[in-house]
Structures are given as structure tokens and as C-alpha cells.
Amino acid sequence: MSRIEQIITEIEDYIDSCKFQPLSNSKILVNKEEIEELLVELRLRIPDEIKKYQKIISNQDAILQEARSQADAMVAEATAQTNELVNEHEIMQRAYAEANSIIEQASAQAQQILDNAVEEANGIRQSSVQYTDDMLRSLQTIIKHSMDNAQNRFESFMSSMQSSYDVVSSNRNELAGSVVTGPEQEEQPDPDSRTAE
């Protein structure tokens, strides 16, 4: 409680303690000197109290200003941190995007290499199959030619043998009329019958 408030309280207490004038319920009897002392002290105290309150108000303004400054500084710092986090987030997003792009490019290159390898392997396989088929066709041609030659030689040999056989048979037939066969001669088997067997 300030001194002014104390003085006002003292004045109120003093007034309450004063006696009413005779035949009156509103007028009281006061000691002039005592009430004047309280009023003089009140007048003297008012400027000091006003200065004190003005100082408190000024201090309050300074405190509010300092609080505002601190709040502004905190807001600015929070904004800077937020911007920094946003920038870091953007940097991270760019890094992720770049990493994903690199991964996609690497995957595409790997797939292209794999496709080329498969295509080349299929080409080599096809060439191998074609080469093997060509070699087998050549071998087949050689075998067929050999078989044809063998068949021709065999037919020629058989033809030659048949001609020789025909000559021999013809000669025997010519000799058959001039050969005398006696009872003592054993019957010789017919060579034609052996040949037929």
C-alpha cells in the first residue's frame, strides 16, 4: 500500500471517529489542525507518488518494449530456423530427387546393357545354330554323295558280275551238246541251282 493510500485511510478513520454535531446526523466536529496536517501530507505525497507511478509506468513501458523486443527476436530466430529448415528440406528434396534420377538412369542403363547382352547372346545362339545346321547339311550332302557313289559302284559291280555270269552260262550251254555223259560219271550238280540257292 502506498503512503497516499495510507493517508486517505487515516483521513477516513479520523472522520469515522469524529462526533456528530448536536441535532445533526451528517455534520461532524473535526480538529482543524489535525485534518490539515493529513491534507498537507497528502498534498506533499501526491507528486512523489505520481512520479513513482510515472516511473513504474515508464518502467512498465520499458519492460513491455523489452518484452516486445525479445518476442520479436524470438520470432525472428524462429523464422530464421524455420527458413533454414525449409531450405534444408528443399535441399533434401532436391537431393532425393537427384538420387532418384541417378537411380532411374542407372536402372535404365543396366536394363539396356542386359537387353543388349540378351540380344547378343540370342544372335550368337542363332549363329551357332545356323553354323551347326550348315555343317550338318554339308555332312548330309557328303554322306548322300558317298551313298550314291557306293550305290552306283555296287550296281556297276553287279552288272559286271551278271555279264560274267551270263558269258559263263552261255559257254556251258554251248559245251553241253558235245559232252558225253556215261553211267559211271556221277551227275554233277547244276551250277545254276547253286547260284539260285
pLDDT for position 190: 57
pLDDT at residue number 196: 47
Q: What pLDDT does residue 197 have? A: 46
169 C-beta neighbours (distance < 10 Å), count: 13
pLDDT value at residue 153: 86
The mean pLDDT values, 10 residues at a time, for the chain of 197 residues are 80 85 83 86 77 74 82 88 84 86 87 87 83 75 81 89 91 79 54 50
pTM: 0.35
Q: What is the pLDDT of residue 42?
A: 81
The reported pLDDT for the residue numbered 165 is 92
**b/e string for 60-88 if b means 16 or more Cβ within 10 A?**
eeeeeeeeeeeeeeeeeeeeeeeeeeeee
